[in-house]
Amino acid sequence: MKETKKYWKGLEQLKNSAEFQEQANKEFPEYLPINDGEDPSRRDFLKLMGFGIAAVSLAACETPVKKAIPYVKKPESVDPTLPNYYASTYVSGSDYCSVLVKTREGRPIKLEGNKLSTISGGGTTPQVEASVLSLYDQERLQDPTIDGNKASWEEIDAAISKELATANGKVTLVSNSIASPSTQASINSLVEKYGATHVSYDQVSFSGMLNAYETAFGSRMMPHHDFSKAKTIVSFGADFLGTWPNRTANNKQFASTRKLSKSKQDMSRLYSFESNLSLTGSNADYRTPIKPSQEGLYVANLYNAVASKLGAATVNVAKIEDDAVLMKAAGDLVKSKGASIVASGSNDANVQLMVIAINGLLGVYGTAIDATKAVNLRKGDDAAFASFVKGLNAGTVSGVIFYNCNPVYDHAQGAEIATGLEKAQFAISTSDRTDETSSLAKYVAPDHHFLESWNDFEPVTGFYSLSQPAIRNIFNTRQAQQSFLTWSGDNTSYYDFVRANWNTNVFAKANTVEYFNFDSFWDKCLHDGVFEAPTDAASSEYAVELPKVASAIAKAYSANNTGLELALYVNNSVGEGMQANNPWLQEMPDPITKATWDNYLTVSPKQAAEWGIELGDMSTQMVTFTANGKTADIPVLPQPGQAYNTVGLAVGYGRTNAGKVADGVGINAYQFASLANGAVSMTATSGVSAEPNGKPYQIAQTQTHQTYMGRETVIQETLLSEYKKDNQAGRHFPKIATADGPKKPYAVSLWKGHEYPNHHWGMMIDLNSCTGCGSCTIACQTENNIPVVGKAEVLNRREMHWLRIDRYYSSDSTKEDGYKAMEVAAENPEVTFQPMMCQQCNNAPCETVCPVAATTHSSEGLNQMTYNRCIGTRYCANNCPYKVRRFNWFKYHDNKQFDKNLSMNNDLGKMVLNPDVTVRARGVMEKCTFCVQRIQAGKLEAKREGVRPGDEVTSACASSCPSEALVFGDMKNPNSKISQMLKIKQNEKSVTAEEDRAYHVLEELRVMPNVWYLTKVRNKDLESKTEKAEA
């Protein structure tokens, strides 16, 4: 009998329904809800957990985790891989900036400008960007010290309290300008308790200006300038774009007057009279090199010119012979009366009084200059400081407290302070390191870094901001204000102190309707970082005794001093030298000279030639330089635009006790500053000499070719009058010859092009509002973990900056004179700054030549670099017409040879690295990525919110730009700022900008970059060009 017995697996099989048949062949007939369903079941949870444990243990077998510290209790709001932002305030010496601190897993890694602050304007400076690395400087003091030996806070507090009590009445507290009301209050309590005196100074003194305003307006202050309200600006050595306090705002305001569009066809005009070519001077429409000894006369002559035009009384001073530009400036000032600013960088109160008189005549007070709002960032008093130094040397000061200042290094009387300190019984310093001053102090009570501190600021009267710690103090340091409170016997914490201070003083100014109580007010201020109180109406009452001022000027200045003169200056990289141990700043090219890791005498090329010195390929010679009775060997850098018979020298270098990065770099220029009439003078008009001594020297510059060789495909510029006639003025339209006649380069192609289905990222750079400050360079370095390579490698021309600012001087020669002549910059050149980074070409020459496809095009218009795939043939860099690719010639991380690259060579320094960006290995190519990590983060955030990413997605450079010259965005999004500004038109596979000023650098190559430049427009009159030609 045939076997017919059948076994069923279940009733379903017996029924054999359609549903059963459908699922019969599936391994898991039931729906598996893993990671998909709304409500995961317990079983799924166990499965996933099981898998997770297995995977984690397997992964752990392969890669041992070193030094990872897990959160035992995860802090609220700290999520691994997600950044947090805290509003805070940057402070260094007398400098200030309202910032947002980006922290990752509790580590501050980047500072961004606080866009809510109208005072700092949302931009940053290179020093602000770089300061986050100073937080992780291993050479900061790690404990308080007594006589150089480690001590505990209890020991040092006891010792100091005893010392202070003994020296009662003979204690001086020295600081830089203090813009913090609570800090001032804590100092006051110390001052009151011990009958101490408090003197402050600024590295570059504004004492003259402050005193002048005291004389004229009755209050000692620097008034708030609003450059956005100025149509004509005349600067006498006032580097308001490069070194003035609060320069982020100055840049923003100035740039806003330089932007042009269909609706705004006019711009401001800037005149500059100065000795050294400063950042401000290089942005001037008319620049006249003058000697320091002439400055007062120029100001007085301008006064006379303005006064005679306005029918006011003139003063009696020698007349300037060649005064065409001065007269023109006077004419413009009067024309834009009420919207004109005259500013001077002089520390001579008489010159400043004359400037006040001009501004007063022009009716500027109450409009562009607000004399009721003081800029509290400069309060130093030279006279008070000089008497302190005198007292110190006379032995009448028994104790000195140096609050975060280093006058032995950065004050003209540094040497006298050093010797005077020997006579004092004790000195206390709150410095963060054993610097030139604190090394002479008995007690060092190191202060927190500002990113570890609570604090408040009032940078401008009525404008407040807060500082909050973004990380617990790394070392055993204590906030200096806390120390002051402790020493004065007050046990409140500084945090409570600040809060109490705000409760009584600031909250009163707030609109109480808006805030429920003080706590809500405090929370809001802490969140925003800033609070702006309504201020009083501006006053314009002033009094200047002109004849007295004029006679003082006539005595002090002369039109024809024949000797060599010195003008010290602050450069925009190392600045005043507080952060000299920061390698990012040391390697940042000076915006003007493009030199790194050095200071040098800037000398007019004519004079250098007379001295027999020529700048070779970064090779030059030293001179034996004497000024203020001090002599040193200093290298010479021929600098176009330098007034003949003057030399410039940057302060901030020549540190001896700052750390391994700064020590021995350059020479200390503060020693050449001198006291003149009770004010510190950064210039010397006599006793200056320079003797060429033939010693060879190399200055590491990142750019050695100064002119753009008349290449209109690189720089396109025009004059305002031409622009007004035709918005396309200055544009260059290359044509390609084809069989069908000349065609636009973009009409000719072998390539099919790429498709951009969703986004197409682009950047717009306005050459007209870029002031060349260099914040973007350091912002990029911070954001993208860019290594520092050191002077020797910069000399080898291997700096790694992804974003550089090309600085071009004009040349008097044209093609007819030959290429050699075009290489020579004009004696007093026009300057153009051109930020240059990867142009993210849509038809990129680098992409086709890589043998291993390590650099490819993304569907969002980015030219991507895959470091892991790169084998380092450098073919891409060779074929890059913009020369923006950077190669890892050596291993820059964990390598003793590059130990100055602090962010990659010690465990502490590495904390600053951005975890979203790979640290590149030796032998691979790298370049600007358009901050792809920020784009990805922005896209993820937008996706989570279910919206299209908008203008909040921006690159580090664009975000840092104080003048908003860099605009980043999605060109596929018609509402984005970039699409609007460039008037982007979408084609199938490309985008075109209909903005008349927009151009691509090297358009003729048809590489189709995603970076657009707007032409540079100078507000110069046409005839001046012909005049120059005649001359």
Partner 1 sequence: MIAESAIREPLVTGGKTVHDVTEDISGRVEEKPAKSWLLAMAISLALLAVGGYAVGRLVWDGIGMWGLNKTVGWAWDITNFVWWVGIGHAGTLISAILLLFRQRWRMSINRAAEAMTIFAVICAAMFPVLHMGRPWLGFYWALPLPNTFGSLWVNFNSPLLWDVFAISTYFSVSLVFWYIGLIPDFATIRDRATNKISAAVYGTLSFGWDGAAKTWSRYETVALVLAGLATPLVLSVHTIVSFDFATSVIPGWHTTIFPPYFVAGAIFSGFAMVLTLLIITRRVYKLEDYITIQHIELMNIVIIITGSIVGIAYITEFFIAWYSGVEAEQYAFINRATGPYWWAYASMMTCNVISPQLFWSKKIRTNIAATFVISIIVNIGMWFERFVIIVTSLHRDYIPSSWAMFYPKWADVGVYLFTFGLFFTLFFAFAKFFPVINMAEVKSIIKATGEKKKA
Strands (E), 290-405: 340-344, 369-374, 399-403
Pairing between β-strand 286-289 and β-strand 269-274 as defined by DSSP bridges: parallel
| Residue 776 touching partner 1 (CB under 8 A) | no
Residue 693 interacts with partner 1 (CB under 8 A)?
Answer: no
Residue with tokens 């860019």: 786
Strand order in the sheet with 1011-1014: 966-970, 761-766, 1011-1014, 998-999
Q: Provide, rounded to whole angstroms, the least separation between the CB of residue 716 and partner 1.
A: 14
Determine if 820 is a binding residue for partner 1 (CB under 8 A): yes
The window from 472-480, 540-548, 847-855, 981-989 that contacts partner 1 (CB under 8 A) reads 847-855
The yes or no reply on residue 924 touching partner 1 (CB under 8 A) is yes
Regarding 807 and contact with partner 1 (CB under 8 A), the answer is yes
**Site for partner 1 contains 767 (CB under 8 A):** no
Smallest separation (angstroms) from partner 1 to the CB of 214: 46
CB of 818 to partner 1, least distance (A): 9
CA 100 – CA 122 distance, rounded (Å)? 9
| C-beta of 542 vs 867, nearer to partner 1 | 867
Least Å distance between CB 735 and partner 1? 10
Residue 813 CB, nearest approach to partner 1 (Å): 14
Rg (CA), the chain: 31
- Nearest CA to 94 out of 246, 199, 210 is that of 246
Determine which residue in the list 558, 879, 918, 986 makes contact with partner 1, applying CB under 8 A: 879
Span 165-184, contacts to partner 1 by CB under 8 A: none
Asked if 180 and 447 count as a contact pair (C-beta separation under 8 A), the reply is no
Give the interface size with partner 1 as a residue count (CB under 8 A): 61
C-alpha pair distances (Å), 249 with each of 224, 239, 252, 253, 620: 11, 13, 5, 6, 37
For partner 1, which residue of 161, 503, 628, 703 counts as binding (CB under 8 A)?
703
Residue 919 in the binding site for partner 1 (CB under 8 A): no
Contact string 986-1025 vs partner 1 (x = CB under 8 A)? ---------------xx-xx-x------------------
Q: Should residue 369 be labelled a site residue for partner 1 when binding is judged by CB under 8 A? A: no
State the nearest-atom distance from the C-beta of 942 to partner 1, in Å. 28
CB of 1004 to partner 1, least distance (A): 8
Q: Which is nearer to partner 1, 445 or 825 (CB)?
A: 825
**Residue 874 is a binding residue for partner 1 (CB under 8 A):** yes
Q: Which of 495, 515, 611, 890 binds partner 1 (CB under 8 A)?
A: 890
Alpha-helix runs per DSSP H in 529-669: 546-556, 583-586, 605-610
Nearest to 239 by CA among 205, 276, 202, 208: 276
Instruction: State both tokens at 519.
Output: 């706590």
Examine residue 872 and tell whether it contacts partner 1 (CB under 8 A).
yes
796 lies in the binding site for partner 1 (CB under 8 A): yes
Write out the two tokens for 279: 């950042």
For 149-173, what is the HEC assignment?
EECCHHHHHHHHHHHHHHCCCCEEE
Cα separation, 623 vs 605, whole angstroms:
15
Stretch that binds partner 1, among 171-179, 219-227, 403-411, 920-928 (CB under 8 A): 920-928
Binding flag, residue 709, partner 1 (CB under 8 A): yes
User: Least separation, in Å, of the C-beta of 943 and partner 1?
Assistant: 25
| Span from 523-531, 607-615, 711-719, 778-786 in contact with partner 1 (CB under 8 A) | 711-719
| 711 scored as a contact of partner 1 (CB under 8 A) | yes
Residue 798 within binding range of partner 1, rule CB under 8 A: yes
CA distance 889 to 432: 34
**Which helix (H) or strand (E) element contains residue 235?**
strand 232-236
Rank residues 132 and 844 by Cβ distance to partner 1 and give the closer one: 844
Interaction of residue 857 with partner 1, rule CB under 8 A: no
CA 687 remoteness from chain centre: 35
Q: Which is nearer to partner 1, 370 or 793 (CB)?
A: 793
926 binds partner 1, rule: CB under 8 A: no
CA 627/CA 565 separation, integer angstroms: 9
CB of 258 to partner 1, least distance (A): 22
Task: Tell me the window of 60-68, 295-303, 534-542, 848-856 that interacts with partner 1 (CB under 8 A).
Answer: 848-856
Asked if residue 878 binds partner 1 (CB under 8 A), the reply is: yes
Least distance between partner 1 and beta carbon 918 (Å):
15
How many CB atoms within 10 Å of residue 695?
12
Candidates 1003, 789, 961; CA nearest to 124 is 961
What are the backbone angles phi and psi of residue 684, rounded to the nearest 5°? Answer: -135, 125
Q: Toward partner 1, which CB reaches closer, 178 or 714?
A: 714
Which span (9-17, 323-331, 563-571, 874-882) binds partner 1, by CB under 8 A?
874-882
Question: Cα separation of 685 and 683, whole Å?
Answer: 7
Q: Is residue 534 classed exposed, middle or buried when 0-12, 13-18 and 19+ CB atoms within 10 A define those classes?
A: exposed
With respect to partner 1, which residue has the nearer C-beta, 1 or 750? Answer: 750
DSSP 623-643: EEEEETTEEEEEEEEE-TTPP
> To the nearest whole angstrom, how small is the minimum distance from the Cβ of residue 891 to partner 1?
7
CA dihedral of residues 363, 347, 688, 643 (deg, nearest 10): -30
Task: Give the three-class secondary structure for 814.
Answer: coil
Structure tokens at 451: 């990113």
3-state class (DSSP) for residue 358: helix
116 counts as binding partner 1 under rule CB under 8 A: no
Selected from 834, 840, 842, 960, the binder of partner 1 by CB under 8 A is: 834
CA distance 602 to 636: 6
**Per CB under 8 A, does 743 bind partner 1?**
no
Which of 278, 325, 277, 268 has the alpha carbon at shortest distance from 298?
A: 325
Contact 772, 833 (CB under 8 A): yes
Helices 494-501, 480-487: crossing angle, 10 deg rounding? 90
Contact status: 849 vs partner 1 (CB under 8 A): yes
Q: Does 338 bind partner 1 (CB under 8 A)?
A: no
CA–CA dist 723, 1017 (Å, integer): 7
871 makes contact with partner 1 (CB under 8 A): yes
CA 510, 511, 516, 521 torsion-angle sign? negative
687 sits near partner 1 (criterion: CB under 8 A): no
Stretch that binds partner 1, among 237-245, 331-339, 372-380, 789-797 (CB under 8 A): 789-797
How far apart (Å, rounded) are the C-alpha atoms in residues 410 and 575? 11
Give the interface segment with partner 1, choosing from 174-182, 407-415, 423-431, 705-713 (CB under 8 A).
Answer: 705-713
- Which is nearer to partner 1, 532 or 812 (by Cβ)? 812
Tokens of 939: 């896209």
Q: Which is nearer to partner 1, 45 or 751 (CB)?
A: 751
Residue 318 burial (CB count, 10 A): 15
Nearest approach, Cβ of residue 820 and partner 1 (Å)? 8
DSSP state of 502: I
Of the listed pieces 416-424, 521-529, 698-706, 976-984, which binds partner 1 according to CB under 8 A?
698-706
- Both tokens assigned to 381: 């008093």
Residue 925 is a binding residue for partner 1 (CB under 8 A): yes
Q: How far is CA 694 from CA 155, 467, 649, 700, in A?
A: 55, 51, 19, 19
Pick the closer one to partner 1 by CB: 503 or 703.
703
Segment 581-640, which members bind partner 1 (CB under 8 A)?
A: 617
Which residues of this chain interact with partner 1, rule CB under 8 A? 617, 703-705, 707-709, 711, 713-714, 737, 793, 796-799, 804, 806-808, 819-820, 834, 836, 845, 848-853, 869-875, 877-879, 881-883, 885-891, 921-925, 1001-1002, 1004-1005, 1007
